Amino acid sequence: MNITIVGAGNIGTQIAVHCASKGHNVTMFTTKYDQISKSLKIVNELGETTLAGNISCATDDAALAFGGADLIFITVPAFHMQKTAETMYPHLKIGAKICLVPGSGGGEFAFKTAIDKGCVLFGLQRVPSVARLVEYGKIVCATGYRDELFVAAIPHSFVNECSKIISDIFDMKCSVMPNYLNITLIPSNPILHTTRLKSIFEDYETGKTYADVPLFYEGWTDKSSELLLECDSEVQNICKALNMFDLSYVKSLKIHYESENAEQLTNKITSIKAFKGLKTPCVQVGNEFSPDLNSRYFTADFSFGLAILIQIADFLNLPCPFMKSTMAWYDRISLQKESFCFADFGINNLDDLIEFYQQ
């Protein structure tokens, strides 16, 4: 296939290697195209090469990148989705498949016009593994690959075809889900990252710095777990209320992490090998630190992750005080003006939401 990857960060580089190693014609679309080597590789935590591949080219030319693309992977942050969709749209051919990795963050609405044009939109419920760049444009370290991936598609009739594509590229089992809401409602980054950040920086105000900041996962606390479990419960309440959909793949974090309470969840998260060493997004100020409000942990996971869950709860007239208090904290410290809003895409009530996801 002719495959284009949008974004040359952690996940984009990882996917490019997997696609190229399978013999596909791979193009990377990025503004930093001149920094991308044609020879890319994945290494493990010891620095040993586990997979390598050669891409055809890297470019910032939209016509070149998308005009002949059979499959397009989107790995940019959620707040770039709308602009990316607008850039791609004039060049997309009917039948092209567009995969969001990960699939949450409202990207299905950003690409609504592409779906209407005759393209297929599908997404992965979670990323294939933890991935971190070692050298931009050349090497990425990928650890903790999942045993199984889960995919959903719009229109749903293409989901089996999309699942096979992902399974073949990653050499992993890939199961299909009954509708895209199983991705939209996934209790992953939109509540995982947001609740953790609130618990770390709850007392933050402009200009405040910290002498030390804990590692994001290894320093996880029961306070973080308690808030996360409350938000997870609110997501499960949304799933119960949307009983016209099969949402059986939106597993509670109690199930996902095999933890019944906050203490068990803390022990589980701090013990996950792939999470070791991952830093809390910060900027250095002298010898101290302040939260990096430009990190996608903030700019994507609050305004294009948590915001979506809250708006769906509002459509259902469901209380979600813990998610809303987490968002209120972010609104207090953030200068970000851009945020996902269903009304921008013609979704004004529960009936509109149901109609969209029944495709």
Tell me, what's the pLDDT at 336?
A: 78
Tell me, what's the pLDDT at 46?
A: 94
pTM of the model: 0.91
Give the domains, in start order, of the chain with CATH numbers: 2-184 (3.40.50.720), 189-357 (1.10.1040.10)
Q: Which amino acid is at 110?
A: A
The residues, ordered by sequence, that sit 6+ positions from 34 with a Cβ below 8 Å of its Cβ are 58
Tell me, what's the pLDDT at 335?
A: 82
- Alpha helices, H only, the chain: 10-21, 62-66, 81-88, 107-110, 112-117, 159-170, 181-184, 189-201, 222-241, 253-256, 262-271, 296-299, 307-315, 321-333, 350-357
Tell me, what's the pLDDT at 73?
A: 98
Tell me, what's the pLDDT at 89?
A: 97
Question: What string of pLDDT tens digits covers the 359 residues of the chain?
Answer: 999 999 999 999 999 999 999 999 999 999 999 999 999 999 999 999 999 999 999 999 999 999 999 999 999 999 999 999 999 999 999 999 999 999 998 999 999 999 999 999 999 999 999 999 999 999 999 999 999 999 999 999 999 999 999 999 999 999 999 999 999 999 999 999 999 999 999 999 999 999 999 999 999 999 999 999 999 999 999 999 999 999 999 999 999 999 999 999 999 999 999 899 999 999 999 999 999 999 999 999 999 999 999 999 999 999 999 999 999 999 999 987 789 999 999 999 999 999 999 98
| Phi (first) and psi of residue 223, to 5 degrees | -60, -45
- Alpha carbons within 13 angstroms on the beta-carbon side of residue 331 total 9
User: Is residue 139 a contact partner of residue 41, using CB atoms and an 8 Å limit?
Assistant: yes
Q: Which residue has the tokens 């996801």?
A: 357
The residues, ordered by sequence, that sit 6+ positions from 182 with a Cβ below 8 Å of its Cβ are 125, 150, 152, 246, 247, 248, 249, 250
Tokens of 112: 């609504």
Tell me, what's the pLDDT at 338?
A: 85
